[in-house]
A = this chain, B = another copy of it.
Amino acid sequence: MAKEIERKFLVKGDGWRNMGVGGVYRQGYISTQKAVTVRVRIANDRGYLTIKSPSVNCSRSEFEYEIPLADAQEMLDTLCDRPLIEKVRYKVKLGDLTWEIDEFDGDNKGLIVAEVELSDVNQQIELPEWIGEEVSHESRYFNSNLARFPFSKW
């Protein structure tokens, strides 16, 4: 189990492009009744099953397991809600921080957000010039919610 503490921002401009390599992500959610999320993800050619607790003050528990790619594919195809989340994730390392910039495709095309994982909720961070508004607490930006109410429907 890992503790995930992260902040999320909108991205403005293209200053971040060419600063990192992009990987293709495709993921879906098994819809749950409470705020626990059950995510199936294919990142490049690897499959993962991830359970996350509800987020409290930017922090949540995360249980992630690598699973066979074929299992992930079948769960995405048969058990996960539609639409699936399709995105290219760019990892940009700046100082001690790694920014993960998600450029969405499919029903969320047009949306670009940047996430940064912190070691402490109160950690001070320097924001690159291409970082826009913070949306850490806006639940519609949660990937699990983008799978239900995608950006194209906002």
Q: Which residues of A are in contact with B by a Cβ distance under 8 Å?
A: 1, 30-34, 36, 38, 49, 51, 53, 61, 63, 65, 67, 70-71, 74-75, 78-79
Would you mind naming 17 contact pairs between A and B with Cβ atoms under 8 Å apart? A1-B70, A1-B71, A1-B74, A31-B32, A32-B32, A32-B33, A33-B33, A38-B38, A49-B51, A51-B75, A51-B79, A53-B78, A61-B74, A63-B67, A63-B71, A63-B74, A65-B65
Q: How far is the CB of A105 from chain B (nearest CB, A)?
A: 25
Q: Which residue of B lies closest to A66 (CB)?
A: B65
- With the chains together, A149 CA to B1 CA distance in Å? 30
- With the chains together, A78 CA to B62 CA distance in Å? 12
Given contacts A1-B71, A67-B65, contact A53 B31 (CB under 8 A): no
